[in-house]
Structure 1
Amino acid sequence: MLTVGDTAIPYILRRSGTASRARITVTPGGVEIVVPAAATDDEIAGVLARRRAWLVEQTQQMAARVAAAPKVNQFVSGAKIPYRGRLMRLKVEPTDGTLVEVAYRNGFYVGYPRTASEASRDVLIESALRLWFRKRLREDVSAFVRQHGEPNGLKPRSIHIKDQKHMWGSCGDDRSVNLNWHLIFAPKTVLEYAVVHELCHLRHRNHDRDFWGLIGTILPDWEVRKAWLDQNEHFLALRRVEAT
Structure 2
Amino acid sequence: MPVLTVGETQISYTLRRSNKTQSARITVTPQTVEVVVPATASEEEIAGVLHRRRDWLVEQTRHMADIVATAPKVVHFVSGAKIPYRGRLVRLTVQPSDGTLVEVSFRNGFIIHYPCALSEGSRDTLIEDALRLWLRKRLRGDVNAFVRQHGESNGLKPRRVEIKDQKHLWGSCGQDRVVNLNWHLIFAPKTVLEYAVVHELCHLRHRNHDRDFWSLVAAILPDWEVRKAWLDQNEHLLVLHRLEPGPTRLI
Which of 72-81 and 159-168 deviates more?
Answer: 159-168
Q: Return the alpha-carbon distance in structure 2 between the equivalents of residues 219 and 45 of structure 1.
A: 45
Provide the secondary structure at the position in 1 that maps to 2:108. coil
- Aligned residue for 2:169? 167
User: Where does 1:70-109 land on structure 2 (aligned, <5 Å)?
Assistant: 70-109=72-111
Change (3 A) 1:53 1:219: farther
5+ unaligned residues in a row in structure 2: which ranges? Answer: 247-251
Which of the residues 99, 112, 115 maps onto 2:114?
112
Does structure 1 retain, via aligned residues, the 8 Å contact 2:17–2:39? no
In the alignment, which of 205, 214, 224 is matched to residue 216 of structure 2?
214
Instruction: Work out the percentage of aligned pairs sharing the same amino acid.
Output: 73
Q: Would the aligned equivalents of 1:29 and 1:166 in 2 still touch at CA under 8 Å?
A: no
In structure 1, the gaps of 5 or more residues are none
What is the aligned-residue RMSD (CA, Å)? 2.6
Cα displacement string for residues 135-180 of structure 1 (whole angstroms, at most 9, x for unaligned residues): 0000000011111111111110001111112211111221111111
Does the residue aligned with 1:137 lie in a helix, a strand or coil? helix
Question: Where in structure 2 are the equivalents of 1:1-244 lying within 5 Å?
Answer: 2-9=4-11, 10=13, 15=18, 24-32=26-34, 48-243=50-245
1:222 and 1:21 map into 2 onto residues whose CA distance is: 33
Query: Taking structure 2 as the reference length, what is the TM-score of the superposition?
Result: 0.84
Gap change, CA 1:93 and 1:38, over 3 Å in 2: closer
C-alpha distance in 1 between matches for 2:225 and 2:127: 36
Q: Give the AA of the match of 2:114.
A: Y
Check whether the contact 1:16–1:34 (CA below 8 A) recurs between aligned residues: no
TM-score normalized by the length of structure 1: 0.87
**1:182 Cα deviation after fit:** 0.8
Code of the aligned partner of 1:203: R
> Which amino acid is the alignment partner of residue 30 of structure 2?
P
